[in-house]
Structure 1
Amino acid sequence: MRVDGFFRLAVQSVTAPREVARLLLSIRPGTDALATGFALVVVLNALVFGLSRLLFPDGGVTGAEVLNNPFAFMALQAATLAATIAALTWAGRGLGGTGGITDLAVVMIWLQALRVLAQAVVLVLMPISQFLGAVAVMVASALGIWIAVHFIDEAHELRSVLKAILVLIVGIFGMAIVLSIVLSAIGITPDGVTGYV
C-alpha cells in the first residue's frame, strides 16, 4: 500500500468504517501477512511511544520498568493486542457472531495502525499546544471506539451496533482480566502500566 492510499483508507475508516471493514475482510490475508502486519503495528506503537517518552519524560505516564525497556514494552503491546483479538472473537461468538480470529485480527491490526497515526499527530501537536494535544487525544479515542464498533459488527456479521458495543465492552473486560493475571504472574502490577492505554 502506498502512502497516499494509506491516508485515504485512514480517512475512509472514519467516514465509512463499514466499507473499510468489508474491504479488509475481503482481502483474506494469509498467516504470514497477518503476522507481518501484527509485528509492524507493535513495533511502530513502541517507536512512537518511545519517542514520546524522550520528548516528554514527565508526561504523566507512571511507572513500571516495562515502560522503559523497549523490548519488554513491545512484548506487552503484542500480548495486549493478541489478547484483545482473542477476547473480541470469543465475546462476539458468544453473542451470535460468526467472525473467526483471522477476521478480528485483520480489523484490529488496521485499527492499531490508525492508532499509531493518531499518536503521531498528538506528538506533533503537543509541543505546539497542550490543549490541542489533549483535544486530539479525546477525539482520537472517540473515533477509535466509533471505528471499532463498526469493525466488530462487520467482522462478526452481527447486524446490530448495540450488540457490537456489548462485544467491545465484554471483550475489553475479558482481555483486561486475562492480561492482569498474566502481568501479575510475571511480577508487573497493573497500576504501573495504566498511564499508557
Structure 2
Amino acid sequence: MNLMSPRLLTALAVETVRQPRPTFGRLMSLNLPRDVLWQALALTLILSTLITELTSVFLAPAPDGGFVISPLMLVTVQAAVPVLTIFLIHWLGRGMGGTGRLEDAILAVTWLQVVMLGLQLVQIVALALLPPLSGIVVIAGLALFLYLLTAFIAELHGFASMGRVFAMILFVLVGVALGLSFVLTLIGVTVPR
C-alpha cells in the first residue's frame, strides 16, 4: 500500500471522517516504525506552516502595527503542541488503563494533522471565494478535530466509551490552558495590544 499516493490519502481521509475508529484501526495495523511516524509528523507540520504562511501573505495580510508571528516561531509552536499531545495521549491513556503504544499515539496525531491539512485547504478556498463561510468552516473544523481525536484515542487505547474520552480531553485542555497561562505569566509574557 503506497501511503504517499494522493488518491489513497484522500480516500483514507474521507473514510476517516465517515468511520474514524475502524479506519484508524486499519492504519494502526500497518505497524509503521517510530522513525517513519516522526518524519511523517514533521512533514505535515512543515506543510501546515507553509500553507499558513502563504495564506497570510495572499489572503489575510496583517494590518499595519498588527501582531505578526515569524515562520520559525510558528513552526516551533506548531511542533510543540502535537508533540505534547502525543505524550499526553500516551501517558494519560495508559494511566487510565489503556493499551495503546507510543507509536500509535504518534500515528494518531500525525494522521489527525493530515486530515486537518485537507480541511485547511478547504478553509483557504472558503476564505478566498466566500469569506462569510470561512468562519463556519473553522467551527466545523474544530468540531471535526475534537471528534476525530476522541475516536482515535478511544481506538488506540481500547476504550469503549467515546463520551468519557471526550470528557477527559476537555478536562486536559482546560488544565493545559490554565497551566500554560500560569507559566507565561510567571515568565512575564503578555499579549500584545
Q: The TM-score by the shorter chain falls in which range?
A: 0.7 to 0.9
Higher mean C-alpha deviation, range 75-84 or range 130-139: 130-139
Provide the C-alpha distance between the structure 2 equivalents of 1:97 and 1:169, rounded to a whole number of angstroms: 18
Provide the C-alpha distance between the structure 1 equivalents of 2:30 and 2:180, rounded to a whole number of angstroms: 30
Percent identical: 30
Do the aligned partners of residues 84 and 162 (structure 1) sit closer, same or farther apart at CA in structure 2, a change above 3 Å counting?
A: same
Deviation string 1:112-146 (CA, Å, 9 cap, x unpaired) is 11111111111111121112212211222211211
Provide the C-alpha distance between the structure 1 equivalents of 2:156 and 2:150, rounded to a whole number of angstroms: 10
- Tell me which amino acid in the other structure corresponds to 1:152: I
Do the aligned partners of residues 186 and 75 (structure 1) sit closer, same or farther apart at CA in structure 2, a change above 3 Å counting?
A: farther
8 Å Cα contact 1:17/1:147 also seen in 2? yes
- Tell me which amino acid in the other structure corresponds to 1:150: A
Q: For residues 120-159 of structure 1, what are the structure 2 equivalents within 5 Å?
A: 120-159=121-160
Do the aligned partners of residues 102 and 171 (structure 1) sit closer, same or farther apart at CA in structure 2, a change above 3 Å counting?
A: farther
Provide the C-alpha distance between the structure 2 equivalents of 1:93 and 1:162, rounded to a whole number of angstroms: 18
Do the aligned partners of residues 88 and 182 (structure 1) sit closer, same or farther apart at CA in structure 2, a change above 3 Å counting?
A: farther
2:10 aligned residue: 7
Task: Report 1 or 2 for greater relative contact order, CA contacts < 8 Å, sequence distance ≥ 6.
Answer: 1
Provide the C-alpha distance between the structure 2 equivalents of 1:172 and 1:187, rounded to a whole number of angstroms: 22
8 Å Cα contact 1:42/1:77 also seen in 2? yes
Deviation string 1:33-86 (CA, Å, 9 cap, x unpaired) is 012111111101111111121120148xx73x5x2x112211111111101111
Structure 1, gaps ≥5 residues long: 193-197
* RMSD (Å), alpha carbons: 2.3
Higher mean C-alpha deviation, range 27-36 or range 164-173: 164-173
Higher mean C-alpha deviation, range 163-172 or range 132-141: 163-172
Provide the C-alpha distance between the structure 1 equivalents of 2:23 and 2:177, rounded to a whole number of angstroms: 27
8 Å Cα contact 1:18/1:150 also seen in 2? yes
Do the aligned partners of residues 182 and 112 (structure 1) sit closer, same or farther apart at CA in structure 2, a change above 3 Å counting?
A: farther
Residues 1:42 and 2:45 aligned together: yes
Q: For residues 155-166 of structure 1, what are the structure 2 equivalents within 5 Å?
A: 155-166=156-167
Query: How many pairs does the alignment contain?
Result: 186
1:109 aligned residue: 110
Structure 2, gaps ≥5 residues long: none
Residues 1:89 and 2:96 aligned together: no
After TM superposition, where is structure 1 displaced by more than 3 Å over at least 4 residues in a row? 173-189
8 Å Cα contact 1:92/1:167 also seen in 2? no
Give the TM-score taking structure 2 as reference length: 0.85
Give the TM-score taking structure 1 as reference length: 0.83
